[in-house]
Chains A and B, each alone.
Chain A
Amino acid sequence: MKKLLIGNEAVSRGLYEGGINVVSSYPGTPSTEITEFLSKYDDIHSEWAPNEKVALEVAFGASLAGARSACAMKHVGLNVAADPLFTLSYTGVTGGLVICVADDPAMHSSQNEQDSRHYAIASKIPMLEPADSQECYRFAKEAFRISEEFDTPVLLRLTTRIAHSQSITDIGERENAEIKQYEKKPAKYIMMPAYAKAKHPVVEERTKKLIAFSEICDFNRIEMGGTDIGIITAGDCYQYVKEALGDSVSVLKLGMLNPLPEKLIRDFAAKVKRLVVVEELDGIIETHVRSLGLPVEGKSLFTPIGEYNQDTVRKVFRSALNEKADCEVNVPVRPPMMCAGCPHRGMFYALSKNKITVMGDIGCYTLGAQAPLTALDSTLCMGASVSGLHGFNLADKGQRRTACVIGDSTFIHSGITGLINVAYNSTSSTVIVLDNSITGMTGHQQNPTTGYNIKGDPASKVDLEALCKAVGIKRIRVVDPYNIAECEKAVLEETASDEASVIISRRPCVLLKSVKAKSPVKVDADKCKGCKKCMTLGCPAISIKNKKAVIDHTLCVGCDVCKQLCAFGAIESEDR
């Protein structure tokens, strides 16, 4: 059956047909939909785990017990899961295990541009990389077979363009869904030195077999065309090469990125005059080709930065570009911003107004860094706000008023360990948990603090207050971020206190269906003096027209935050 699927949905279909029984993941753009689509199948277990390390260990356990399992994460999530990853390479699997990892060249929604192919090489785990949805489907399905045949987890690497592009996919039926018999195998699964030492040679032997496989497997293929130039490429870059150069060049299209073939590359090199590797991010294929002693070009022609497209290829090979339309206008940038009525806004206003130094974290609230709120001082990685604040305070020794902000989901992901450190190694840090009852930025996934599971069914719910108390925090208070005075009071008192504290800023995300918008507020033009105080909130519903504030009734959700700022009482609620 032919369908137009985004890469992520095609991956989920492939995993499903390949016989998956268990999927455990943490959301992360651009990987999230893989798990979301899998959660629609009722004959498999799907879940959101607290973080990627937990997710991969769950997949490991399920594989150990004989089930086919998978997890999906974004590139930086693989950093979190790297600990189990490297040793899983030694244990291998019982049921097939597939780890989907989505890189984000151009950083559409990420804090760095790391190339996860390095992980495949470093952990000696085979990696496949599809170039369209049909391949997403087929590679995901076959990944289970490779995993079981070679006794190894398999990495399936995507990039944003593959994960989020739709193309036609011919899908089939579910197979091999039975769970294998569990057998206790200490030498395979207990990785203490004696057993691990015996396992390492097995891994090296496996790599040799995988290289032999990569020489003949149908993941890699040669498409002969003109022989002046031969291009080795993979993933979305293959599409750009074909689009730009068509049959004027020959192409070695790689679908298996680790380990890379040797003979196949030599044979291809022998057929062409000039050998060029086209790959986004790092020169990984190029380095391999060079290690074979073959003359090759790659990163001397193509940047290691950002996404490519067909023009990137055209420019390097000097083929004709298209004639474009053009006009001279200064188009203002349109960055993403927090929604009108976002519950984070009131708290950010309180922090910004009182010039608090704020360590930030990863989520919608990272947008609090932008003008006009400019409330953040740093954003590094999941959970770093809490541990970073502790370190900052150790060095700053109380000169500045400091705090950190972290969302509910991120706090559970890896903020809680930092909080334990704050309590244990005692700094007077103020940790603000922005509890909007959802994982917002990635498109509203449930998490352990929401009380619902991936399918939206009621589930156990973390009691954040009790949790913070249990790790040793004595000062814990809950505020409503729609109440600016309350936020300011809490922030000023807690940042002045010489004890560690947690402020839970609690209000659900306005985009949740369960949240009913109130009627919009409006500006009384006679009372408005055009002082622009309300503009300091950065609410997208408010703008200034003819020197007076106006509020867009289609955007305003009636949170009343701006109303609290107006000294002239010009912002009024319509009758509610």
Chain B
Amino acid sequence: MKTTNLMIVGVGGQGTLLASKLLGKLLVSEGYDVKVSEVHGMSQRGGSVVTYVRFGEKVYSPVITEGEADYIVSFEKIEAARYLSCLSNKGKIIVNNQEIDPMPVITGAAVYPTDVLEKVKESGVFVDEMNALDLAESAGSAKAVNIVLMGRLARYLGIGREKWVKAIEETVPAKTKEMNLKAFELGYNYEM
């Protein structure tokens, strides 16, 4: 069985860590060998962050290199392009079309390439684009962007919905459970 490679990318502080925790828990309970790798520390202060998730029968390397990823879940538009070269040319991207200005854009040293997703689509990979922030807010909190996107990912991974729900219940704080389950459904059911 081939190892599945998945990357979660975004901006420090967007809740990518919780998403990878959820995914890790789910994949272990499915009986896979799993490796999840992310770098803590300096980069989390608003920097670009990346988590590698690999699962299959036997996983060696904790990281994903050029052309290896089957899926990228991007919490922000330009982050999808930043890591695109890690995606296989047959890979899929799920992207939250939010724009978060990095410091060089804020200071005027660089411009935000607003057409970035068009460019990504031109590369021929499958792009599933959504406004996860809006959906999260309608679920009750802007913080639930991560769970909205996991809801979307659930459509691709072929793991039963009830198992996702169980993993979410075990991962998120009890008082945000209902809101997060709603966020999950909104991400799952969103029509492109």
Give chain A's interface residues, CB within 8 Å of chain B.
Answer: 2-4, 29-30, 33, 108-109, 132, 160-161, 164-168, 236, 239-240, 242-243, 309-311, 321-339, 364, 367, 370-372, 441-443, 532, 535, 538, 540, 542-544, 554
Contact = CB atoms under 8 A, between A and B. Distances in A.
A304 B11 CA distance: 30
Given A327-B84, A328-B119, A166 B35 contact: yes
Given A166-B37, A322-B67, A310 B61 contact: yes
A166 B24 contact: yes
B111 A332 contact: yes
Interface of B: 11-12, 24-25, 28, 33-48, 59-63, 65-68, 78-79, 81-82, 84-89, 91, 101-113, 116, 119-120, 122-125, 142
The 8 closest A-B pairs by CB, nearest first: A322-B67, A324-B67, A109-B41, A336-B47, A29-B41, A334-B102, A332-B110, A165-B62
B89 A323 contact: yes
A135 to B, nearest CB: 13
B187 to A, nearest CB: 20
A532 B125 CA distance: 39
Contacts of B125: 325
Contacts of A3: 28
Contacts of B91: 325
Contacts of B124: 325
A328 to B, nearest CB: 7
A540 B13 CA distance: 12
Given A109-B42, A164-B39, A329 B116 contact: yes
B33 A164 contact: no
B60 A243 contact: yes
Q: B11, B35, B85, B105 — which one has the most chain A CB atoms within 10 A of its CB? A: B35
A325 B127 CA distance: 12
A321 B86 CA distance: 11
A4 B34 contact: yes
Given A538-B103, A540-B106, A339 B46 contact: yes
Contact of B42 (A29, A132, A243): A29
B84 A309 contact: no
Nearest to B122: A327
Dominant secondary structure at the B interface: mixed
A240 B33 CA distance: 16
B183 to A, nearest CB: 16
B88 A331 contact: no
28 contacts: A4-B25, A4-B28, A4-B34, A29-B42, A30-B41, A160-B39, A161-B37, A165-B37, A167-B35, A236-B61, A310-B63, A311-B66, A323-B67, A325-B84, A325-B125, A327-B123, A329-B119, A331-B116, A332-B102, A332-B105, A332-B110, A333-B104, A334-B11, A339-B46, A441-B41, A443-B41, A543-B105, A544-B106
B35 A329 contact: no
Contacts of B43: 108-109, 336
B85 A4 contact: no
B136 to A, nearest CB: 11
Query: Which of B28, B38, B40, B142 neighbours the largest number of chain A CB atoms within 10 Å of its CB?
Result: B40
Contact of B107 (A166, A321, A329, A535): A535
A443 B39 CA distance: 13
Identify which of B36, B106, B116 gathers the most chain A CB atoms within 10 Å of its CB: B106
B106 A321 contact: no
Nearest to A544: B108
A239 B62 contact: yes
Given A309-B63, A535-B106, A108 B28 contact: no
Given A108-B43, A540-B103, A165 B35 contact: yes
Contacts of A544: 106, 108
Contacts of B42: 29, 108-109, 336, 441
Given A310-B61, A324-B87, A329 B113 contact: yes
Nearest to A307: B63
Nearest to A107: B42
B89 A325 contact: yes
B28 A331 contact: no
A29 B45 CA distance: 14
A30 B70 CA distance: 28
A250 to B, nearest CB: 16
B103 to A, nearest CB: 5
Contacts of B105: 332, 543
A370 B66 CA distance: 30
A117 B86 CA distance: 32
B31 to A, nearest CB: 10
A383 B100 CA distance: 35
A106 B152 CA distance: 33
Contacts of A554: 142
Contacts of A441: 41-42, 45
Contacts of B120: 327, 329
Nearest to A74: B41
A164 B42 CA distance: 13
Given A322-B68, A371-B107, A336 B45 contact: yes
Of A165, A334, A441, A540, most buried by chain B (CB within 10 Å of CB) is A334
A326 B123 contact: yes
Contact of B85 (A240, A326, A372, A535): A326
A309 B59 CA distance: 14
A372 B109 CA distance: 10
B28 A168 contact: yes
A501 B108 CA distance: 37
A239 B61 contact: yes
A450 B79 CA distance: 37
Nearest to B25: A4
A535 B108 CA distance: 9
Contacts of B81: 327, 329, 331
A168 B58 CA distance: 11
A372 B34 CA distance: 42
Nearest to B82: A331
Contacts of B12: 336
